[in-house]
Amino acid sequence: MDSISRERRTANMAAIRSANTKPEMLVRRFLHQNGLRYRLHSTGLPGKPDIVFPSRRIAVFVHGCFWHGCRKCIDGRRKVRSNADYWSEKICRNRKRDRLNVRALRKLGWNILTIWECEIATQSRLAELASSIKAAAPQRSHRSARS
Ligand SMILES: [Zn+2]
């Protein structure tokens, strides 16, 4: 195996992308175990938050460190050797879009919680997330969460 073919590289990138759904699964499982019931991928909201608690007005984003340019870990600063400019621009755009989505959601009265892929390994960070969600009491006046 002396060089990686283009096909192979594409397959590798696809694998990275689908692996990125895994952190979200871990977060979901943790929240579920903690008695929190949520909705997924609210397409009607800016940025399609990964996990939504409509009655508490909380939207959770689970960010892959590489794709969203995490500043807390090495993955977020990783440079892709081929097409470096393409990737850094892409990630820069992702970060910008994330910020705009957060702003738009706040305007609509949502609270936004973001958890990074690299934080998920830490149980205490997950516990913190769960307690922030629980701290926001469901609003009865809001349209029934159970529809
Ligand atoms: Zn990170």
- Ligand 1 centre to CA of 105 (Å) is 23
Question: Quick check: 29 and 130 in contact, CB under 8 A?
Answer: no
- Ligand 1 centre to CA of 116 (Å) is 6
Lookup result for tokens 């870990």: 73
Question: Quick check: 101 and 46 in contact, CB under 8 A?
Answer: yes
- Ligand 1 centre to CA of 124 (Å) is 16
- Ligand 1 centre to CA of 146 (Å) is 34
- Tell me, what DSSP letter sits at residue 144? -
Question: Quick check: 66 and 80 in contact, CB under 8 A?
Answer: no
Question: Quick check: 23 and 64 in contact, CB under 8 A?
Answer: yes
Could you read off the pLDDT of 20-48 as tens digits, one per residue?
468 899 999 999 999 999 988 777 899 99
Give the predicted TM-score (pTM) of the model.
Answer: 0.77
How many other C-beta atoms are found inside a 10 Å radius of the C-beta of residue 92?
Answer: 11
Distance from chain centroid for Cα 43: 14
Kindly list the protein residues that place their beta carbon closer than 5 angstroms to ligand 1, a single-atom ion.
65, 70, 72-73, 76, 116, 118
Nearest to 24 by CA among 127, 145, 119, 101: 119
pLDDT for 21: 60
Burial-class residue 32 by CB neighbours within 10 Å (0-12, 13-18, 19+). Answer: exposed
Residue 64 has pLDDT above 80, yes or no: yes
- Ligand 1 centre to CA of 71 (Å) is 6
- Ligand 1 centre to CA of 64 (Å) is 7
Q: Is 58 helix (H, G, I), strand (E, B) or coil?
A: strand
User: With pLDDT > 70 as the criterion, what percentage of the chain qualifies?
Assistant: 80
- Ligand 1 centre to CA of 142 (Å) is 34
How many other C-beta atoms are found inside a 10 Å radius of the C-beta of residue 20?
Answer: 17
